[in-house]
Structure 1
Amino acid sequence: MTVAPVIALDVMGGDGGPAVTIAAAEIARTRHPEIRFRLYGREDAIRAELAKAPLVARDAVVVHTDGEILGTDKPSQVLRRARQSSMGLAVDAVKAGEAHAAVSAGNTGALMAIAKLGLRTMPGIDRPALAALLPTAKNDSVMLDLGANAECDSENLVQFAVMGAAFARTVLGLATPRVALLNIGEEDLKGTDELKHAAALLRSADLPMQFAGFVEGDKIGRGDVDVIVSDGFSGNIALKTAEGTARLVVELLTRAFKSSIFSMFGFFMSRGALRSLRSHLDPNAHNGAVFLGLNGLVVKSHGGATAQGFANAIRVAHDLVVDDIAHRIREDLDNFQAHRTAPPAVQAAQ
C-alpha cells in the first residue's frame, strides 16, 4: 500500500481503557512511524493519555463520544446504540473510508454484530470467520473460525480455508501454508459429511496452499500445519481448551518449583528457560484476532491485553492493510471458482 495505514481505535474498549489503548498506539507508532490513528472515546480521557504519547498526539484525530459498549451488553442492545459508541464509530470509520482498519478490545459479541451489520460480507463469502494465531511447538499457526459461526456447511469451511491461507501468507509470511480441517480423526472416513465434502473440494482446488487433510485436536499444538479450519463451535472450544492448558502448565510448574528448597534451587537454575516458555505461551504475544471476509478490516484484541499485547493487535491490522488481505482473498476465491471442478466423491454420487 502506498498510503499510510489509518487505524481507527475503540479507545474505551477493554479492561485497561484509554491508558492501555493510547500506550499501545505509541508503541505501534514507534515500530511503524507511518501509521496514523483515529481515536474514538471520551475526549478528556483521551487527551490525558495523549500527553504521555507524543508520537501519537502529533497527528491523531480525536472523535469524542460518551457512548460505550459494556462487556455485559447483549448484541440486541448494542445495535440500537452502536452509532453513538466508540466501538461503532470506529467500525463506521472503516465503512466510510476514513480508516483502513478498526481495532477494539471490547465486547466480542458486540463487535461481531456491529462489524457484520455495518460492513457486510465480501462477494463470494457467505459468512465472516474469526481468525487468530495460536502458539505451537514449532511456529505460530492460524485457526478459524473461533466463534463467529456455530454451524457451518462444506462451502463455509472451504471459504474459511481460503481466507485462513491468505491470512497465514500475510501474517506468517508463508508462500504456501499447510491447511487442515479439524476433525475427530485423520482418516478420510472420519467426520461429518460437511467435513468430508469440504476436504474433497480442497483436495481438488488449485490454490496457493498445501491441503494436509484432517488434523485432530491433540495435534494442533505440534505445529505440523499452519492453518486449522473448523466451525465456530468446535474452534472456540479448542481455543479455550488450549488457553486453559497453557495456564495449567504454568501453574503446575510454579507449584512444583515452590514445593521444596531443592525445587527452588532448580527454579533458579532454570529461570531463562522458564521465561522463554512463559513468553511463548503469553496471550499478549499472539494478540489480534481478525474478522475475515468482511468489506473492511476489524481486529479484536483480548479484553485484558497489556499495552504490548494491544500493540500486537495494531501490528496485525497494519500488516493486513499493507499486504491488502482483501485483495488476496478475492483473488484466491475468484481463482478457486474459475477452476472449480466437482471432486471424485461428489461426481460419483451424481
Structure 2
Amino acid sequence: MTVSNSRESPCLVVDLNLVRANYRALHAALPTARIRFAVKASPLPEIIRLLDTEGAEFDVASVGEIELCLAQGVDPAVMCYGNPIKKAGHIATAYAAGVRRFAFDTEDDLQRIAEHAPGSEVECRFLASAPQSQTPFGNKFGCAPDEAAQLLVRAHDLGLRAGGPYFHVGSQQLDPLAWQIGIEQAGAIADALVAKNIPVSVVNIGGGLPISYADAAPGVDELGAVITAAATRHLPEYTALIVEPGRALVGNTGVIHSEVVNVRQAPDGRRWIYLDIGRYNGMAETENEYIAYRFQTDRDDDPVAEAVVAGPTCDGDDVLYQRTRVLLPTTLRAGDSVRILETGAYTASYSSVSFNGFPPLTVHVTGAERE
C-alpha cells in the first residue's frame, strides 16, 4: 500500500475523525465488549495508532500484520492471531514477539499452537448456523459446535488457556438475528465446558457488522441491543464478549477518487463506462457484485441512465457491475471525475502489486490521530 501526498487518480482518501467516531459509537452500543479491530480491513499505520490510543485490541491475520502493529507501538498483549490457517513457524514468530492469543479450528493447528506458543490463550472458531451474509465465507472456516467444545477441552489438557468459542456470521451481515443464533450456539459450548470445570473467559462474536452502501444496513445501536440481549440470556455472566469489527470501523471513512477513461456503446446497446480503477487495484469486493458501492460525479444534476461499470485492465473479468442497476449521468465522458463512496474497507488492502502494470491504490489520510 502506497501512502502519498499527491492526489493522482485513482486514490483513496481516509478520514481519521470518522474512524474515531465509529469506534466510540460501537463502544457506546456495546459498552462491556472488548473491541478488537480486524487489521486486514485497512492496515494503515495512522488507523492502528488511533485505535490503539482509543483502547482497541487487534485481530492480526499474519506475521506481517503483527509486525505492522508492533511498529506502531501496539502492545502484543492486545493482539490475537485470529487466522486459523497458519504455519508452525509463524506461530513461533508471533509467540516470540509476545503474542499470547490465538484462534484455531482444527486439531492440527491446536497442536502447533501448544508446541510453539505454550501457555497461550486460545479461541476455537466454530461454524455458526447464521443466515448468509453479503460476502459469505462459505465453509472455509469453523468446526462443528460439538467439535469446538471437544477441542477446547483438548486445549485445556495441552496446557493452553481455553478462552472460549469464537464464531463469525460472515462479512456485511445484514440480519441482526445472525448474532443471536451464534451467541446461543456459543452458550451451549460454554455450558459444556463449565460442566467439565473449564471456565469460559471469553466468547468472540467475530466481525461482520455491516455499513450502508447503496442499500441501508442496520445500525450499531440495533445490533448492540440484539447482541446484548442474547449474551445476557445465553452466556455465563462472568464471560467477556469480544467483537472484531473491520468494515464497521473504517468502511464509511474512505472515498475513492477515480476518473472516467472511456465511454462506449456496446453492440448489445448497453452503455459501458470504464474507470481508472477496477477489480485488481482496489475494487475487489465487487466480485460477484456482492458490495454495491455508491457513485458521485460532478454531473449528478444531469439526466441519468443505466450503465455497465468496468475497470481499466485488459482482463475480461475486470467488470464491477453489469447485473447491479447502476444509474450514472448520460453526459459522463473521458476525463470526468467519479467518487466511489464508503470505500474505506477492503480496497487498498486488496489492491494488487501491479497487475497489468497498474500501480497499487494510493492512500491519503486526513483528520487527526489524537483529539
- Give the TM-score normalised by structure 2: 0.25
Q: Relative to total residues, which structure has the larger helix share, 1 or 2?
A: 1
- Give the TM-score normalised by structure 1: 0.26
Q: Relative to total residues, which structure has the larger strand share, 1 or 2?
A: 2
